[in-house]
């Protein structure tokens, strides 16, 4: 194999409506580079690749060099068509004539690696057409469109899920593209090669080489490039007044006074929510649950904490462990700590050992020390992902 013979068509001609993003999904930022740039970079870094043809929506072509950025390999551009096979045909037309082995790759698969590219190039030279694929893990049912009844259970060991890059000799890809241009519909170039009577080899794909299609896929892809944990601190204090209930993380403590506040004044949950929001740069609890909003009048602290967990999950974050220190002269917290920790763990989706709550006094110093107030400090370690 010589690097002057291998070219890649990167198909980025769609809009990715199902991804629900403000920009086309190929332009979504993943850790400082777009989906498109990461896909191009994977092939540009491969020593066997001499030419990359990027197929873009026609209105983005004037910006194409800036959208892709500098490359080692020759980088050319072509306008995308209505169908995938139209886009590939445009990419093939732009590919220099000396390129003998051509890979076709979806820009929406930015996690392709060199080992997979190696396998595809070798098989394309050997067979003429190749598709990487992974075996199905689940039982597969055949269900007719529009009629939700199973008509057949297909043996799982016969089902493979196709990926890209797919590889072809130029002759085979030209025959496949010509068949598509004649009116034959197909979901990928390997299918056109099959319909053209060409053998298509299957090589092992890669589970990590997933395709970004939905909003959930976008979130998971972003998390792969934002894996550093974040630490936040929180603080809350309330005056203690007679006639209020003293509640900490849903546990009612027997005492004649309780925290004065718009909500139930649960300093444990409030300080903890502040720490979690702060860790990911999402403000504080007051910005999300205003103390002048009647919806939150007398709302339980555990309820607010649960709502906070949901808001943070929507941003792609969850707590990994938390540590809270409650500062209170009376009553003693020790008998209540197991229940407090268990309540917090349930709302946060953590094991109890990942939740620490400690009680301290202020040794008679200031309003807290005089028993006039209760305070809490919290630390939260936040990591990307949904609750386990």
Tell me: do 241 and 204 sit in the same domain. no
Model confidence over 118-153: pLDDT tens digits?
999 999 999 999 999 999 989 999 999 888 899 999
Tell me: do 140 and 201 sit in the same domain. yes
Strand partners for 103:
8, 167
Closest to 162 (Cα-Cα) out of 97, 106, 231, 84: 106
Model confidence over 227-265: pLDDT tens digits?
678 999 999 999 999 989 899 999 999 888 888 888 888
* CATH number of the domain where residue 330 is located: 3.30.1330.50
Per-residue confidence (pLDDT) for residue 226, from 0 to 100 = 65
Q: How many domains does the chain have?
A: 2
Tell me: do 215 and 239 sit in the same domain. no
**pLDDT higher than 80, residue 2:** no
Domain that holds residue 37: 3-224
Per-residue confidence (pLDDT) for residue 388, from 0 to 100 = 52
**pLDDT higher than 70, residue 17:** no
Model confidence over 264-290: pLDDT tens digits?
889 999 999 999 999 999 999 889 988
**pLDDT: is 372 or 104 the higher one?**
104
| Global pTM value | 0.62
**pLDDT: is 214 or 323 the higher one?**
323
Task: Pinpoint the alpha helices (H) of 300-388.
Answer: 301-314, 337-348, 366-369
Closest to 301 (Cα-Cα) out of 381, 376, 387: 376
- In this structure, how many other beta carbons lie within 10 angstroms of the beta carbon of residue 197? 8
Tell me: do 105 and 41 sit in the same domain. yes
């Amino acid at each position: 194999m010589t690097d002057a013979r291998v070219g890649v068509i990167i198909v980025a001609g769609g809009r990715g409506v199902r991804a629900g993003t403000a920009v086309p999904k190929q332009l979504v930022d993943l850790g400082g580079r777009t989906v498109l740039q990461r896909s191009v970079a994977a092939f540009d870094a491969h020593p066997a690749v001499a030419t990359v043809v990027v197929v873009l929506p026609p209105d983005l072509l004037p910006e194409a060099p800036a959208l892709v950025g500098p490359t080692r390999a020759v980088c050319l551009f072509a306008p995308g068509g209505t169908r995938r096979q139209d886009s590939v045909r445009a990419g093939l037309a732009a590919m220099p004539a000396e390129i003998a082995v051509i890979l076709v790759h979806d820009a929406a698969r930015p996690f392709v690696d060199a080992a997979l590219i190696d396998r595809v190039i070798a098989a394309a030279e050997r067979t003429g057409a190749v598709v990487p694929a992974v075996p199905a893990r689940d039982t597969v049912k055949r269900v007719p469109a529009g009629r939700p009844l199973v008509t057949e259970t297909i043996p799982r060991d016969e089902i493979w899920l196709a990926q890209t890059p797919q590889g072809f000799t130029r002759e085979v890809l030209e025959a496949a593209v010509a068949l598509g241009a004649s009116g034959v519909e197909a979901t990928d170039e390997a299918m056109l090669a099959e319909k053209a009577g060409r053998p298509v080899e299957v090589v092992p794909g890669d589970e990590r080489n997933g395709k970004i299609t939905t909003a959930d896929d976008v979130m998971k892809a972003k998390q792969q490039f934002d894996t550093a944990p974040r630490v936040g601190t929180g603080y809350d204090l309330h005056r203690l007044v007679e006639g209020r209930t003293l509640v900490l993380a849903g546990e009612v403590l027997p005492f004649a006074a309780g925290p004065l506040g718009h909500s139930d004044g649960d300093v444990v949950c409030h300080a903890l929510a502040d720490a979690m929001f702060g860790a990911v740069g999402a403000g504080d609890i007051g910005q999300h649950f205003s103390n002048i909003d009647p919806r939150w009048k007398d709302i339980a602290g555990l309820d607010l904490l649960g709502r906070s967990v949901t808001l943070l999950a929507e941003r792609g974050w969850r707590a990994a462990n938390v540590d809270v220190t409650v500062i209170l002269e009376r009553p003693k917290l020790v008998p209540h700590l197991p229940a407090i920790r268990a309540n917090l763990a349930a709302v946060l989706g953590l094991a109890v050992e990942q939740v620490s709550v400690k009680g301290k006094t202020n040794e008679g110093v200031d309003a807290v020390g005089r028993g006039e107030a209760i305070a809490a400090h919290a630390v939260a370690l936040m990591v990307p992902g949904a609750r386990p």
